[in-house]
Amino acid sequence: MLTLLLTFTLFLFGALFPLFLWIVDRERLEIKIHRFVLILALSTVAGGFLLTLLIGLNGTFLVVVLVWIIFLLAVTLFSWGRPRVESWIVTVPSIIGIFFTAWIAGHLINADLISILVLIL
């Protein structure tokens, strides 16, 4: 159960943390924080992928995680040399990650009340 909780935490952090660039984009700062944000999101998603290998999911989930990692890596490489990154470019991998996390949660978590309470606590 702890591995499952850590996996969800890493996936949600990797999906939601790039949305932080929407706030930074309004500030109009030229400090290239997008590199840190995207690399941190990519490393947490990669860590979550390694944990999904420990959980023993079927191949469909692993393929979706790999597509998400490749898409996030492509966005990171695309925006690496730029002084700023457009917020909508970073939003697309975040949306993919949110949908994937919801999809995997629907398959792995039982719908009874005790399982949901244990996951929340």
Greatest CA span in the chain, whole angstroms? 48
Listed as own residue / partner, the contacts of 76-81 with beta carbons closer than 8 Å and 24 or more positions apart are 76/35, 76/38, 76/39, 76/42, 79/34, 79/35, 79/38, 80/35
pTM score, two decimals?
Answer: 0.79
Q: How many CB atoms lie within 10 A of CB 17?
A: 18
Query: Tell me: the pLDDT tens digits for 30-77?
Result: 667 888 888 999 999 999 889 888 887 777 888 888 999 999 999 989
Q: What tokens appear for 111 in the block?
A: 């719908």
Tracing tokens 């999101």 back to the chain, one arrives at 41
| Cα 62–chain centre separation | 14
Contact present, 97 and 68 (Cβ < 8 Å): yes
Question: Can you read off the two tokens belonging to residue 117?
Answer: 């309470």
Pick 120 or 74 by higher pLDDT: 74
Task: Show the domain range for 6.
Answer: 2-120
pLDDT of residue 5: 81
How many domains are there within the chain?
1
CA atoms of 105 and 121, how far apart (whole Å)? 16
The Cα–Cα gap between 93 and 26 comes to 20
Percent with pLDDT over 70 in the chain: 83
Residue 57 dihedral angles phi and psi, to the nearest 5°? -80, 165
Average pLDDT value for the chain: 82
